[in-house]
Amino acid sequence: MSSREFHIDTARMIIENNRHSLSNVAVDIFEGCVNESVEKTGKFIVAISGGSTPRDMYRMLAEEPYHSRVPWERIHFFWVDERCVSVDDPVSNYGTALKDLLDHVPIPRYQVHPMRGDLPPDEGREEYEGELRSFFNIAHDEVPVFDLVILGIGTDGHTASLFPGHDSLHATERLVCAVKGGNPDLNRLTLTIPVLNNARHVLFIVAGGEKASVVSKVFSGDGDGGDVPAGMVKPREGELIWLLDHDAASLVLRTLKKSAEMPHEAEWHEKEGR
């Protein structure tokens, strides 16, 4: 199996043959970011998303060698979004992360910072905004800097719980918004674009042919106007990685090959051995 990687605009695009190697690479990237941040600052602060795609990665992290190797006592977990449900609801992002990962690794509970999906949406929003400001010790006009933000994309172009056409896409004063939408159609809490774009590393993990068309839209620039919210995620200074499986990348590859933007074949790095 091989992994292909190239740079397009400011993004690093990595394409894997299947979901298993996709999750392996996601774990490698996670571990690399942990090591980089722990070395620099002594801690690692990550915001994770829900959805089905990153679940294999979270389960892998709960197992060896990562269970023993990752410095869990240095890590703080936050969420990019949450559904307004109780933690034992099957669609709770926090509840799912507990089952897949956090219940199985030696991370101090006070380093896990879930969004309060059990509160009424506006209260949950205020609570998380306060939690972020106090944890990062930032003033009213400052935005937190996450070491890593992990995102997915929906077939409609949403990312986190930032949906096409919603006012929350243009929130500049808030770190967290309360919104309604998605599938399931629920009240939700979400980090805002300025927070996502202030991260040191942003990692999109995307799998499946049903995502091919929306991924291709992101890279054709159609996302900038808010039709494809994921396209608005362009870290100001941080690294942007799109980690795709072959099916999700199929259309973007075809489109790019036809256009002048397609990097010369020589710029592709084939990495053997995954």
Which span sits near ligand 6PG by CB under 6 A: 18-26, 51-59, 98-106, 140-148?
51-59
> Does residue 50 belong to the site contacting ligand 6PG (CB under 6 A)?
yes
Nearer to ligand 6PG, 147 or 245 (CB): 245
> Does residue 187 belong to the site contacting ligand 6PG (CB under 6 A)?
no
> Does residue 49 belong to the site contacting ligand 6PG (CB under 6 A)?
yes
What does each C-alpha distance from 163 to 174, 189, 224 come to in angstroms? 16, 12, 13
> Does residue 233 belong to the site contacting ligand 6PG (CB under 6 A)?
no
Q: Which of 92, 159, 168, 198 binds ligand 6PG (CB under 6 A)?
A: 159
Which span sits near ligand 6PG by CB under 6 A: 9-17, 23-31, 68-76, 155-163?
155-163
Question: Closest separation between CB of residue 55 and ligand 6PG, Å?
Answer: 8
Nearer to ligand 6PG, 121 or 154 (CB): 154
> Does residue 158 belong to the site contacting ligand 6PG (CB under 6 A)?
yes
Q: Which of 16, 56, 81, 247 binds ligand 6PG (CB under 6 A)?
A: 81
> Does residue 152 belong to the site contacting ligand 6PG (CB under 6 A)?
yes
Question: Closest separation between CB of residue 206 and ligand 6PG, Å?
Answer: 8
Nearer to ligand 6PG, 159 or 197 (CB): 159
> Does residue 93 belong to the site contacting ligand 6PG (CB under 6 A)?
yes
- Return all residues near 225 (Cβ < 8 A) that are at least 6 apart: none
> Does residue 56 belong to the site contacting ligand 6PG (CB under 6 A)?
no
Nearer to ligand 6PG, 112 or 262 (CB): 112
> Does residue 154 belong to the site contacting ligand 6PG (CB under 6 A)?
yes
- Return all residues near 115 (Cβ < 8 A) that are at least 6 apart: 79, 81, 82, 93, 94, 124, 128, 176, 189
Among 256, 201, 159, which residue's Cα sits nearest to residue 36?
201
Tell me which residues touch ligand 6PG (CB under 6 A). 49-53, 80-81, 93, 152-154, 158-160
